[in-house]
Amino acid sequence: MQADKVETDWAALVLRVRDHQDKAAFAALFRHFAPRVKAFLMKSGADAGLAEECAQDVMATLWQKAHLFDPTRASVATWVFTIARNRRIDALRKARRPEPEDLPWGPEPEPDQAEVFEAQQETDKLGQALAQLPDKQRALIERAFYGDLSHSEIATETGLPLGTIKSRIRLALDRLRQQMS
Amino acid sequence: MTIRHHLSDQLLMAYAAGDLPEAFNLVTATHVSLCDECRARLAAFEAVGGAVLQEADSVEMSDASLAACLDRIEQMPQATHRAPMRRAGCFPAPLAGYIGGGPESVKWRNLGAGVKQAILRTGRDASARLLYIPAGQAVPDHGHRGLELTLVLQGAFRDDADRFGPGDIEIADEAVEHTPVAEAGPACICLAATDAPLRFNALIPRLAQPFLRI
């Protein structure tokens, strides 16, 4: 595993883009994520030219929507994935995908560092668990996320530790509901 | 709202991955809008997407791509804040967006016995429609081919085995053959989606099927 995955605080870089339009922070994010987004889109069936073009769009969207990123809810990788997924759906003319209702829990100006760390750790742990799955099972999950499977082909048992993530988000939602009522 | 019937892992993962037909996306987004449990499960599946992206190989970007991207950002118009579609009555935002409002804005068509439906405009690989079922009437065509999702928005329906109230989703496939009936009280309004033409068990609706586009 590359050292930068565990040592770089990607969320802090996004916040520097958000607060200071920091081009150096953006460049670091770009160098890390753009090539992955490009690979992701090529696996989804885009040719190299389209994938490169769309990867630039995805990174430009990251800049433009930095104020919407909540690092206590999702890691940067997860957020970038959702932007890339939506770009893929548009670019490859896939089915329109309405989003759930927004919740009034917009990002805090000063997110709780422990929660940010937790969200990042979860993605790292998931990545490790994914890498340790039997090849066939891992390939099936990857293909689902590349948009290469229909819903009926998706295996319900992923073998991944999703319970902790679900519980953490559920608690945050319960807290939010209490504040709202 | 106490929700007892939830989305399956299969549907949530497919929605997270962007693998569903539009009609199922709409039902999923509408249920998640009502259900914190499924919203949290969806977040977990999106995190799998993040892990897949993080672990993926990378393909080198061209040398000039960062500069080109920064140029593009300079030229982008300021992000405009589009007012998000709001919930309208018992219709959560994603559904209200399709209707352009709440239940009062639906252009219903009568199916007889007070039962009404409205077919929504979605991609052709699956269809979505709203159903309006007065108390005591049967929910139309509940023999299934393919997959059918029925999400209750108002009122409730029940069959021999179970009750489905507001926010509950029934996930039915070929194995399910039953006749759910709308409960006493306010009319039952459901959002239903299927990836197969529905089969009718009653004679009249079967004849009507080609004309109803379902």
What domain range is A42 assigned to? 3-180
User: Where in chain B are the domains?
Assistant: 1-54+85-214
Q: Which of A10, A22, A26, A78 should we substitute to test contact with B (largest number of B Cβ atoms within 10 Å)?
A: A78
Are A169 and B44 an interchain contact pair (Cβ–Cβ within 8 Å)?
yes
Asked if A21 reaches chain B (Cβ–Cβ under 8 Å), the answer is no
In chain A, the residue whose alpha carbon lies closest to the alpha carbon of B8 is: A156
Matching CATH number, B1-54+85-214, of 2.40.50.100, 2.70.50.30, 2.60.120.10, 3.40.50.1820: 2.60.120.10
How many domains, in total, are found in chain A? 1
What CATH number is associated with residue A107? 1.10.1740.10
Q: Two tokens at B34?
A: 């009502």
Closest among B81, B58, B87, B83 to B153, alpha carbons compared: B87
Q: Is the pLDDT of residue B79 over 70?
A: no
Task: Write the DSSP string, A6-35.
Answer: HH--HHHHHHHHHHH--HHHHHHHHHHHHH
Q: Is the pLDDT of residue B213 over 70?
A: no
CA distances from B25 to A99, A126, A144, B31, B94 (A): 8, 25, 15, 10, 10
List, in order, residues 6 or more apart from B210 with CB less than 8 Å away: none
Report which secondary-structure segment, H or E, holds B191: strand B188-194
pLDDT tens digits for B128-168?
A: 999 999 999 988 766 667 899 999 999 999 987 799 999 99
- pLDDT number for residue B77: 78
Q: Which parts of B42-156 are beta strand (E)?
A: 109-112, 115-120, 127-133, 148-154
Between B11 and A158, the higher pLDDT residue: B11
Report yes or no: B137 and B114 within 8 Å, Cβ to Cβ: yes
Percent of chain B with pLDDT over 70: 87
- pLDDT number for residue B29: 98
In terms of average pLDDT, the best of A97-106, B11-20, B120-129 is B11-20
Are A127 and B51 an interchain contact pair (Cβ–Cβ within 8 Å)?
yes
Q: What is the pLDDT along chain A (181 residues), one digit of tens a residue?
A: 444 445 689 999 999 999 999 999 999 999 999 999 999 999 999 999 999 999 999 999 999 999 999 999 999 999 999 999 999 999 887 789 999 998 877 777 788 899 999 999 999 999 999 999 999 999 999 999 999 898 889 987 889 999 999 999 999 999 989 988 8
Task: Say yes or no: ipTM exceeds 0.85.
Answer: yes
List all residues of chain A from 140 to 169 with a beta carbon under 8 Å from chain B. 141-142, 144-147, 149-152, 154, 156, 158, 160, 162-163, 165-167, 169
